[in-house]
Structure 1
């Protein structure tokens, strides 16, 4: 066997070997077909240069699985060469790539990188050592971790060569530094970022290297640019969208999840819509191959809220088939996953709820909050799950801060859960430590207790006085909208703090709340109307209510009545014995009004008789309330319904409350008996009427 006559020819063959991805056994075709002999001196010169190319040999052999071997003219000549080349030849022939008789496994990637550190380019005389490049890389990322603002990141990036990996990490770090900033600080930092010259270089390099980026780097780069407020129509964003479209089939679950999060924040345009459609098709094709619960939940998050229901059903069926594999974290994350899909699967959520209830003591605070928040978003109501969480919070009340409990109560209020034990225990804690509450804490506590129509049994007065005292301490610097909300919550609970009312009655405050160009004008008008009613009908103080507002809310209540209740009343009392859809001057709507004699023995049918002898009559207001007007799992009325019942009682009505959903489940004879029992019963005290239960 002969070897090539030229060292340059040899090196060119090796470089072709590196660049040719399809080269296997023919890598050294030029070596095998070389006929010209070579003298020992020429071989010596070439052989001395082989050390500088050993990395290339190893690299080629490792990548392509080819074995490179070199043969001398004869054994004796090989021995002569060893003796003439000295230590250089001895060390070189020890290389397993050059040794005919030795064979070693391919080098690992880390070993290759270490070997590459000695010789980066066999033709470069002053190549930079790999160790120096490695130290610069580590130095860059160490400095990057310590950056606290976008400007710091850009200054750092400007001092280094912008590789695609550094571009991706720099953009992601810029986004991370702005996450915890206030809105004003974010605007200021972004202004500085867009004016920094290195930011434009980052975007240019991102467009240039997009095709070479790893899939997760592509996804994170696009996410960072979108979150930083870079225009969706900009060239860099559109370039990344196009490149991702070309390589989306290669994206793993993590990269798809990041991409889905990014697309959810993007507006509709040609490239974004095409990518969303491709993402859903990719998820649908991968469903049968999914074997892992985490991968399934990632795919479910990817499709977003706008996905077709058929695709959501397929993912639901796949999740139900894997229920036996669900761990406790899987069950918790399924709530947030379904919320991300905007898909309420009661069967799936019920199964996850059972696992959460069994292991409630091992779940941290934020996981419980996410479960409750997702249930609210999905309109999922599970009294057993919510009660278990409330029981756990109450049993460990001392380990939670006031802010954490307020957050729990706020979500319980939105979900309609009234856990009397937890609310009484927290009210006692608030009464003892009211000085530690902030204005936001007070407003949120008032909102929860007024919404659920709950006051502690034994400390009602002390609880309200503590909250009122803290609330009034913030009056000098309180915003008009916060003042309005706080006073309204107090009024719903039947409390009227005089200092807060005086502040609200100031002319400049009322004018600001009722500005016609305000976005909350309608809501403010309705709240002021209810405060006015409370002061007229509940408050015995000498407050001038006419100065608040004489306008009624702009919305009109529904004037339709429940036909099932109407039919039951006719069967119970006969035709034309009740008035339907009575709208009072104060804008309260009564479904059915019945007039009885003073002793509640019989129904009066003559309107003239009713008008002439009002002091000997008893008016009954039949109110049909939907399930949303009651606390979860009970017939305890919520705050607004309770206030309406209280006001109608003050106007002389006897209240009959009919839970529409429960009433419709009764048989006809049971419906008749239900109405007769409550219509002809002795009038109850106002407080008992408000809290009556079927």
Structure 2
């Protein structure tokens, strides 16, 4: 018996070398199958016998009929079906098949030529009949092509429900994306009222634990995008199942899960799932191969992610910089803003990508980049200038509201694009009726805040066009919008008579003083009052007197006498803490006896930004009697230091010198310690409020000198003294044009 079995086993080994790799379809529950490639772990005997079962001649098949029955039975019990089709690269000869001539596998009458005619791809009639009767699975792409509405998909489900249910939700979301918003809203109502929708939801909940993980995630994303409420049983059930099976998440599933979580509101299940996603990302961050998946995950994990994980994702992104496409570079700004992580190195590199490929950049991408820069407090003048120049050179292809929206973002960033703003001025002058009320208010705010004036006569024509457009809508403008418009005109030293007369009506003022934002309205009205007093002629000064009567009077120093006579109240201590400091408090501080803890408090007190300037002035002027600090002026103006000098600015007078008060050649000098925020980005061009303050101080008789705090802090005392000396004793005029700081 052993001698007879030896040739058979030898032939099987010879044939196993001829079999190529094949694809095996493993049947999962409910018939949802996925191809699985079998490499080394395979049984050559089973593969061979299945191949012979379908392809060999009857003489050979008759010999293996008993073995085939046993193998087929074993396969059926395991629930696995193999469909292996192979080709032989060489001809099987009788001598190769058998080493024992006494027991050949093929009869002696069979020639070599007949063996070459053996068809190894023969398919039986039973297999053909089975393929005809087997139902073809319905995919979501095919459903979306055959159906025209969401109700059609539900009708197809009610006729013959097939696994998985995710195909129907994906098909409905595919259809919803290609229709208009109004039709989508109507189709959504029909979907919720369809009798098969409830049944589909039940199927989805039952199949959630057995369908593939990526199909489950796609289903959740489609269900949420279709408008199914998040607090429904189906959505919460799917969220819970996704939590339980989160260990099945691969790189593709990470991207899908991150996209789905972006459209979900915070709740217990979403919070738990997001925490699980962070743990998973922390473990698999170095295994992520696709940049798009990395950016999707970074955008999803949220702002409250631990800093260590943010740093790890930043390092991964820096490692993949060489593989960044143009879209990846443009998208990285929004990703970092969503994660609230300010990576200057990554932003610099992505800025270079955006600058090099700025032409053809969509409007939404430009808006996203600028908004992200504002959120991240990232200022890159080259990036902003590149965007502004691109929009200015292609000005005709942009809508007017798009240009104004870009200018609003530039104003938030403190950047002034002169060419683009001049283009808009020319457009408004040529077409005065092209602006609506919202665009007018936005344009006035941008031009007044950035203190931009068009070169030439177009400035007056631009302001007149704005005034005319507002005058036509005067009776339809709300009081807040009217105040904002007049406030912007005042910053630009322009006073439209019709708008101001409408604003200072008693009914309008009372409405502004009783609104929800009273403090802001009072501040703007007082700015208007100061402009009418200090900027214009006697007619506007009369309007100033009328406005002063309507405004509430500020607090008076004599109010303290009444405060002393008033009986004490338990809440006086709280009010004392919240009360702003008064100039006379320093006198009381000097007269108060010293306390042992005063030195400790002095050491622990944070230094004031102007302390170094006071020390520099004391050393430069050789005494503190030559300057005063924290001077309060009318109209709520405040200056940091005041110096008295002659008109030639060569000699400094002491404040204790009474003869200097009556001197005719004395000039008051105001030193303002200013931060970078009072200028436009990387320039010496003052913004609107600072320009107005300088203008009003000049009207009060002051010569204004601006001390840059950020420069003074970097200098040693000797260099700081020289720096302030050049500011005080030089005859340079205040810079009003662009210049690099």
For the pair 1:119 / 2:133, whether they are aligned, the reply is yes
Q: Cα–Cα, structure 1 residues 189 and 595, in superposed 2: closer, same or farther, change >3 Å?
A: farther
Residue 418 (structure 1) shift: 1.3
CA–CA distance in 1 between the matches of 2:689 and 2:203?
59
Partner residue in 2 for 1:377: 375
Cα drift, residue 173 of structure 1: 6.6
- How far apart in 2 are the matches of 1:557 and 1:691? 37
Q: Distance in 2 between matches of 1:565 and 1:628?
A: 19
In the alignment, what sits opposite 1:165? 166
Sort the Cα spacing of 1:19 and 1:675 in 2 relative to 1 into closer, same or farther, 3 A.
closer
Structure 1 residue 505 corresponds to structure 2 residue 508: no
Quote the residue 1:523 is aligned against. 520
Q: Tell me the residue number matched to 2:286.
A: 288
Question: In structure 1, which of residues 590, 593, 597 is the aligned counterpart of residue 642 of structure 2?
Answer: 593
**Counterpart position of 1:490:** 489
Report the equivalent of 1:48: none
| 1:427-576 matches, cutoff 5 A | 427-458=425-456, 459-515=458-514, 518=516, 520-540=517-537, 541=540, 542-543=542-543, 544-546=546-548, 549-550=551-552, 561-576=609-624
**Using the alignment, how far apart are the partners of 2:82 and 2:651 within structure 1?**
99
User: 2:699 maps to which residue?
Assistant: 650
The 10-residue stretch of structure 1 (554-563 or 250-259) with the greater mean CA deviation from structure 2: 554-563
8 Å Cα contact 1:301-1:337 kept in structure 2: yes
Rounded to whole Å, the distance in 2 between the matches of 1:249 and 1:420 is 55
**1:620-672 CA distances to partner (integer Å, 9 max, x unpaired)?**
22111212221111121111222222222222222111222133234444432
Deviation at 1:189, TM superposition (A): 9.9
Distance 1:253 1:439, change over 3 A: farther
Distance 1:242 1:318 in 2: 30
Contact 1:434/1:470 (CA < 8 Å) preserved in 2?
yes
Distance in structure 1 (CA, Å) of the matches to 2:199 and 2:532:
65
Deviation at 1:201, TM superposition (A): 5.3
Aligned to 2:711: 662
CA distance in 1: counterparts of 2:372 and 2:535, whole angstroms? 38
Counterpart residue number, 2:682: 633
Return the offset for 1:309. Answer: 0.9
Please give the secondary structure, in 1, of the residue aligned with 2:643.
strand
Aligned to 2:411: 413
With over 3 angstroms needed to count, the CA separation of the structure-2 counterparts of 1:195 and 1:492, relative to structure 1, is: farther
**Alpha-carbon offset, residue 310 of structure 1:** 0.7
**Counterpart-to-counterpart distance in 2, 1:259 and 1:248:** 10
Q: CA distance change for structure 1 residues 228 and 507 in 2, over 3 Å: closer, same or farther?
A: farther
Question: Normalising by the residue count of structure 2, what TM-score does the alignment of the two structures yield?
Answer: 0.69
Structure 1 residues 383 and 20 mapped into 2: Cα distance closer, same or farther (>3 Å)?
A: closer
- Output one character per residue of 1:365-385: Cα deviation in whole Å (capped at 9) or x when no partner: 332222222211211111111
Structure 2 unmatched ranges of 5 or more: 1-26, 37-41, 51-74, 87-117, 556-577, 584-607
**Aligned partners of 2:141 and 2:171 also within 8 Å:** no
Equivalent residues in 2 for 1:117-196, closer than 5 Å: 118-120=132-134, 141-142=144-145, 164-165=165-166, 168-169=169-170, 172=173
Over 3 Å counting, the alpha-carbon distance change for 1:638 and 1:557 in structure 2 is: farther
The correspondence of residues 316-335 of structure 1 with structure 2, limited to 5 A, is 316-335=314-333
Shift of 1:432: 1.1
Count of residues in correspondence between the two structures:
595
1:615 Cα shift? Answer: 6.3
* Residues 344-396 of structure 1: per-residue CA shift (max 9 Å, x gap): 11111111212222232243333222222221121111111111222222222
Match of 1:309 among 286, 307, 316: 307
Judged with a 3 Å threshold, the aligned counterparts in structure 2 of structure 1 residues 656 and 293 are, in CA distance, closer, same or farther, namely: same
CA offset digits 1:509-560 (Å, max 9, x no partner): 33443335x2x44433333333333333334324232255326699979995
Q: Distance in 1 between matches of 2:669 and 2:480?
A: 37
* Deviation sequence 1:106-148 (CA, Å, 0-9, x none): 99xxxxx99877314xxxxxxxx75xx96x988963576556x
Residue 158 to residue 386, structure 1, CA distance change in 2 (3 Å):
same
Aligned to 1:494, the other structure's residue is in SS state coil
For 1:236 and 1:658, the matched residues in 2 are separated by 64
Please give the alpha-carbon distance, in whole angstroms, between the structure 1 residues aligned to 2:582 and 2:366.
37
Asked if the contact 1:304/1:340 (under 8 Å) is kept, the reply is yes
User: In structure 1, what is the equivalent of residue 566 of structure 2?
Assistant: none
Contact 1:153 1:173 in 2 (8 A): no
Tell me if the contact between 1:328 and 1:355 (Cα under 8 Å) persists in the aligned partners.
yes
Distance of aligned partners of 1:317 and 1:584 in 2 relative to their CA distance in 1, 3 Å threshold:
same
5+ unaligned residues in a row in structure 1: which ranges?
1-14, 32-55, 68-100, 108-112, 121-128
| CA spacing shift, 1:318–1:119, aligned 2, 3 Å | same
Question: Are the aligned partners of 2:448 and 2:688 in contact in 1 as well (CA < 8 Å)?
Answer: yes
CA distance, structure 2, for counterparts of residue 475 and residue 168 of structure 1: 52
Q: How far did 1:193 drift?
A: 7.9
Q: Distance in 2 between matches of 1:359 and 1:234?
A: 45
Residues of 1 paired with 2:309 and 2:427: CA distance?
A: 49
Alpha-carbon distance in 1 for matches of 2:649, 2:177: 70
Verify the 8 A CA contact 1:532 1:549 in the aligned structure 2. no
| Alignment RMSD (CA, Å) | 4.6
Tell me the CA shift for residue 233 of structure 1: 4.5
Deviations 1:50-74 (A, max 9, x none): xxxxxx99x987657699xxxxxxx
Question: What is aligned with 2:727?
Answer: 678
TM-score norm. by structure 1 comes to 0.73
**Matching residue of 2:100:** none
Q: Call closer, same or farther: CA 1:239–1:497 in 2, change over 3 Å.
A: same
Change (3 A) 1:515 1:104: farther
Deviation digits for residues 74-111 of structure 1 (CA, Å, limit 9, x no counterpart): xxxxxxxxxxxxxxxxxxxxxxxxxxx7654999xxxx
Counterpart Cα distance in 2 of 1:317 and 1:593 = 52
Q: Does 1:272 align with 2:236?
A: no
Tell me the residue number matched to 1:299: 297
Conservation of the 8 A alpha-carbon contact between 1:505 and 1:547: no
The SS at the match of 2:707 is strand
The answer to whether the 8 Å contact 1:593/1:621 transfers is yes
- Structure 1 residues 408 and 19 mapped into 2: Cα distance closer, same or farther (>3 Å)? closer
Shift of 1:242: 0.5
CA distance in 2, matches of 1:272, 1:479: 43
State whether residues 330 and 350 of structure 2, in contact with CA within 8 Å, keep that contact through their aligned partners in structure 1: yes
Greater Cα radius of gyration, structure 1 or 2 = 2
How far apart in 2 are the matches of 1:161 and 1:610? Answer: 105
Distance 1:381 1:363 in 2: 20
